[in-house]
Amino acid sequence: MLDTEPDLSKSLFSHIDFTSGAVAAVSGGSDSTALLLLLKHHLDRTAPATKLLAVTIDHGLRPDSAAEAQAVAKLCATYGISHRIMTWSDPKPSTGLPAAAREARYRLLAEAAQAEGIRLILTGHTADDQAETVLMRQAREEGLARDDGREFAEMAGRGLAGMAPATLYGWREWIVRPLLDTRRSALRDFLRREHVGWADDPTNIDEAFERPRVRAALAGESAEYIEGTLVLAGQAAAERRQLGVGAADLIHRFGSQPAIGLIRLDPRLLSAGEERAAVYALRILLATTGGIAFLPDQARSETLFGKLKAGFLCATLSRTVVDSRRAGIFLRREMRGLPTAAAVIDDTLWDGRRHITLNNSSGALLIAPFGAAAAKRLTPGEGKTPPSLMRAALAAEPALWQAGDCLGLPGESRAPKAVEARPVVAPFARFLPSFDLAPARAVAGLIGAAPVPSLPFSGHSAG
């Protein structure tokens, strides 16, 4: 049931761990303003020493945006809440503006959190926002249903789950949405009782954009319709979690990494009797190996899976070479499209696959693919994995170079210790919804990526 009780703070925050503090994203609209005041009330009662920072992102897209940010600053001063304004000063794209603004918003919120040593960001997304999100995705996916029923069935289990209650951003900060079961009307009633106003963003009713169009369509619907939409979203979320759990189990059982950059799948995966989960696991591993942020096409992945069952093959999908032979099914990054040589820069993502950390001055170090010539000089250890495959995988790995000489792979004894190149789970490296924790953890363990930070919930699941 949707949460419409007068004292919302009793039920919204009790399960959240505020040990590191909290950043509240506050635009000045009703939802985020109510979030901030309810959170302040909760922390004053339960943990008054908790660090609370309100952050307003000024996207610079409207003449009134700066004044609205200052209004939030004034409200925060009234309640004794620390506040910071972050400005999106980058050039604005001519297309895809809502998506670019959303990406900038999360990036700036994360920067503010990192500056304060906080790992928790709270946003004011409501049940109304969730219903809009689900209906937007449903509208997009109905076209897929007409073209390919299999694709739609798969997307229905993932996309129609809507926004997750928690999403890990950049593998570091948790973005939590505690209002997903709360109606906007209940939040506005709360603000009216507190005699607190809010700003109405005119872009929220500008039907040139998709979300305002859906919002306008929902305005005439009953509470029962919206709640029914959210029930369907909950069912889709449960299916998505279960699919992820199944995929994670298969990765644990049949996946291994015989060499850096090389994943081996036991052929028994093909006959494990869980084909939907197996295809999902394959898609995640393909994207991870290729350094792609999005999973490969469902239909093409199913076709590849069918060909693997039919016999040995060598194919490429999502920048990943799939080499099936008697020794197993091997995945490695193809050599085409690898990054060119560039200076080593701290805290960057190389080829979508490796997080580069620079521990001290790199001098004139460059980072570039190891290359086939250097890989041929290596003598892989004994084992069941064909040495040619191990060398091919290593050739696509990032190596350190100086004055035209290869100094080796980061972590090798002869390579400079100043640089670390740690694997990342590419499809979840930027945004990891809590729905997908199981497969993300399984792949991270398989490839040696950093562990997934613990959920910021005490005794509750975020799925």
Q: What is the DSSP letter of 462?
A: -
- Give one word for 273, left, alpha or beta, with left for phi > 0 and alpha for psi -120 to 50: left
Residues in the chain: 463
pLDDT tens digits for 320-351?
A: 999 999 999 999 999 999 999 999 999 999 99
Q: Exposed/middle/buried for 347, CB within 10 Å: 0-12, 13-18, 19+?
A: exposed
pLDDT tens digits for 193-212?
A: 999 999 987 666 555 556 66
Residue whose pair of structure tokens reads 């997080």 in the numeric block: 355
State how far the Cα of 458 lies from the Cα of 166, in Å rounded to an integer: 13
Q: If you average pLDDT over every residue of the chain, what do you get?
A: 88
Over residues 26-45, mean pLDDT:
96
State how far the Cα of 337 lies from the Cα of 424, in Å rounded to an integer: 18
Per-residue pLDDT at 64 exceeds 90: no
Side chain identity at 436, as an amino acid letter?
D
56 compared with 409, residue with greater pLDDT: 56
pLDDT score recorded for residue 4:
43
Q: Which residues of 5-37 are buried (b: 16+ CB within 10 A; e: fewer)?
A: eeebbeebbebbbbebbbbbbbbbbbbbbbbbb
pTM: 0.89
141 compared with 68, residue with greater pLDDT: 68
pLDDT score recorded for residue 141:
63
State how far the Cα of 63 lies from the Cα of 104, in Å rounded to an integer: 19
Domains of the chain: 9-125+163-221 (3.40.50.620), 255-334+426-446 (no CATH), 342-423 (no CATH)
Side chain identity at 450, as an amino acid letter?
A
Contact 165, 434 (CB under 8 A): yes
Residue whose pair of structure tokens reads 């190149």 in the numeric block: 421
Helix or strand or coil: residue 334? coil
Contact 302, 150 (CB under 8 A): yes
pLDDT score recorded for residue 223:
67
Per-residue pLDDT at 249 exceeds 50: yes
